Amino acid sequence: MLNEIHTYMETTNKTKITVETTVALPVAKVWKIWSDPEDITKWCQASPEWHAPYADNDLKTGGKFKTTMAAKDGSFSFDLEGVYTNVKENEVMAYTLPDGRTVHVTFTAEGNATKIVETFDPENENPVEMQKGGWQAILDSFKNYAENK
């Protein structure tokens, strides 16, 4: 329990990280592509060496999601999973990860484009800049996939 408290304190004392992009599509279309498991498996990776072979998404407050992210060479994989704490269609998705960290994603219509802002608690294993770069790369992958779908 002491370890859990220490981890919680480290997480809560760190500054949240924010990444963002603007996608040249209406918010309803962006929302659908972001949340559809079939689409998630096509965009959820930080580099071409990675892929998402599995995704499941129960998009509602209290619903769970799970995306398997894996190196294409089979050397490493992990599951990104969590429980939604707030879902407002075409506006916000907030969720908690198993270690207690939180993620908040907003979708804002800007004419026929959509601004996505993702704010999350950093983990304790990797430098903040590396985490920001990885999440931004996944967001950029989403933008590229969505705009070219």
- pLDDT-derived band of residue 9, with 50, 70 and 90 as boundaries? very low
Name the average pLDDT for the chain. Answer: 92
* Least confident interval from 5-9, 47-51, 99-103: 5-9
DSSP designation for 24: S
Helices 27-35 and 128-148: angle between axes, nearest 10 degrees:
110
Pick 2-148's CATH classification: 2.60.40.10, 3.30.530.20, 3.40.1010.10, 3.40.640.10.
3.30.530.20
pLDDT at 13 (0 to 100): 53
Q: At 121, is the secondary structure helix, strand, or coil?
A: coil
Among 106, 124, 103, 104, residue whose Cα is nearest residue 114: 106
At which residue do the structure tokens 């050397």 appear? 75
> Is residue 113 over pLDDT 90?
yes
Q: Is the pTM of this model over 0.85?
A: yes
The percentage of the chain sitting over the pLDDT mark of 70, rounded to a whole number, equals 91
